[in-house]
């Protein structure tokens, strides 16, 4: 008696034994799950080409708009369908808007042509030189009013960063960690992408972006006044460790959780001086005129004139 032959595998049936063991199927399955670096390189190349074409469309609209998709295709030597795809994406991004195109003669059959123009968001995609303009304006301010005028401007700008959270800082009281979190949130709202974290005996305030880094590299008063204002807002000594303006990856400020050296916003007055150690047990009480301050020794810290201390810097 003859044994019946197994049924032939159907197209696309990967469960059949003859198909499941096929090297081609195993290779295809591996390729489906792991594209490899070559496919990633092709994707990056394709994305870069898409961006270049989209930028070319924006530049043509800037120079000659309003333009239809047919006009743009003719200028860029591309297909009309390809240009429409880029226009649809730009319109979805809010970079362009369309309106009915004007025709001098009778309109043909089909849907009416649309003409495209740049919006303000589309113009923002183009290069700008606002930083250079700001540097030129500050150079003029320094020539007319001196470096002190630049310093006053930098101070006012830094104070504006924390002004919206003055009430929150006052409500936080002496909680330095909470003050750091409030300041980080305020800086993030101003475009600094700030964060805070516990580091050892203090808090580290990081600003991952600086909107005025180009200007601060030319005028260090911006970094100096910002550091002083932050120290005053935190109510404690704060040490600036790194700045984007000096070429670092981010601005970093270390804030110790103890050792306050200045008044916090809302305090009644300046902080008191360092405590005087009590006399040793059994020592006779002092008589006669009050002695003058002795020279600093290892057992008694030198007094610091807090009226002249620079906020944000530790006294030598």
pLDDT score of 5: 58
Which candidate, 158, 240, 180, 249, places its Cα nearest to that of 209?
Answer: 249
Cis bond leading into 312, ω under 30°?
no
**Which residues does 134 contact at the CB level (< 8 Å), separation at least 6?**
212, 214, 215
The dihedrals phi and psi of 34, each to the nearest 5 degrees, come to: -140, 100
Tell me what pLDDT residue 252 has: 95
Beta strands in 89-182 (DSSP E): 96-100, 114-118
Q: E-assigned strands of the chain? A: 67-68, 96-100, 114-118, 194-199, 202-207, 239-242, 251-256
How confident is the model at residue 44, as a pLDDT?
A: 85
pLDDT of residue 105: 55
Neighbours of 141 (CB within 10 A): 16
Residue carrying the six token digits 């909680």: 175
Question: In this structure, what token pair is assigned to residue 258?
Answer: 């103890």
CB burial of 71-97 (b: ≥16 within 10 Å; e: otherwise) equals bbbeebebeeeebbbbbeebbeeebbb
Domains of the chain: 36-102+111-124 (1.10.10.10), 130-256 (3.30.1380)
C-alpha 73/C-alpha 199 separation (Å) is: 57
232 contacts 176 by C-beta, under 8 angstroms: no
The stretches in the chain having pLDDT less than 50 are: 11-12, 14, 19-21, 24-34, 261-316
| Nearest one of 115, 100, 119, 114 to 62, comparing CA atoms | 119
Q: What is the pTM of this model?
A: 0.54
Residue 256: HSE in the Cβ half-sphere, 13 Å Cα cutoff? 11
DSSP assignment of 69-116: HHHHHHHHT--HHHHHHHHHHHHHTTSEEEEEPP-SS---SSSPPEEE
123-181 pLDDT, tens digit per residue, is: 887 877 888 899 999 999 999 999 999 999 999 999 999 999 999 999 999 999 999 99
Other Cβ atoms within 10 Å of 149 Cβ, number: 14
């Amino acid at each position: 008696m003859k044994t019946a032959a197994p049924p032939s595998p159907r197209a696309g049936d990967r469960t059949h034994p003859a198909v499941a063991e096929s090297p081609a199927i195993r290779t295809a399955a591996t390729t489906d799950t792991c594209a490899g670096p070559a496919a990633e390189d092709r994707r990056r190349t394709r994305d870069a080409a898409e961006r270049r074409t989209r930028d070319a469309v924006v530049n043509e609209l800037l120079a000659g708009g309003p333009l239809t998709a047919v006009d743009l295709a003719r200028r860029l030597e591309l297909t009309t369908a390809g240009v429409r795809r880029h226009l649809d994406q730009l319109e979805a991004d809010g970079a362009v808007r369309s309106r009915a195109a004007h025709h001098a003669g009778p309109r043909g059959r089909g849907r009416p042509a649309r003409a495209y123009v740049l919006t303000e968001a589309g113009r923002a995609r183009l290069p700008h030189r606002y930083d250079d303009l700001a540097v030129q304006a500050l150079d003029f301010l320094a020539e007319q009013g001196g470096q002190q005028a630049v310093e006053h401007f930098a101070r006012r700008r830094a104070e504006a960063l924390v002004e919206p959270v003055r009430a929150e800082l006052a409500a936080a009281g002496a909680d330095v960690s909470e003050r750091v979190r409030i300041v980080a949130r305020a800086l993030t709202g101003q475009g600094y992408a700030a964060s805070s974290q516990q580091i050892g005996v203090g808090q580290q305030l990081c600003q991952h972006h600086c909107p005025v880094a180009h200007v601060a590299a030319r005028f260090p008063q911006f970094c100096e006044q910002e550091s002083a204002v932050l120290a005053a807002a935190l109510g404690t000594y704060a040490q600036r460790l790194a700045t984007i303006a000096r070429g670092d990856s981010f601005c970093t400020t270390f804030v110790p959780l103890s050792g306050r050296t200045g008044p916090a916003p809302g305090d009644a007055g300046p902080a008191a001086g360092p405590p005087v150690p009590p006399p040793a047990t059994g020592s006779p009480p002092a008589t006669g005129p009050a002695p003058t301050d002795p020279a600093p020794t290892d057992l008694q810290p030198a007094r610091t004139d807090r009226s002249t201390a620079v906020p944000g810097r530790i006294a030598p």
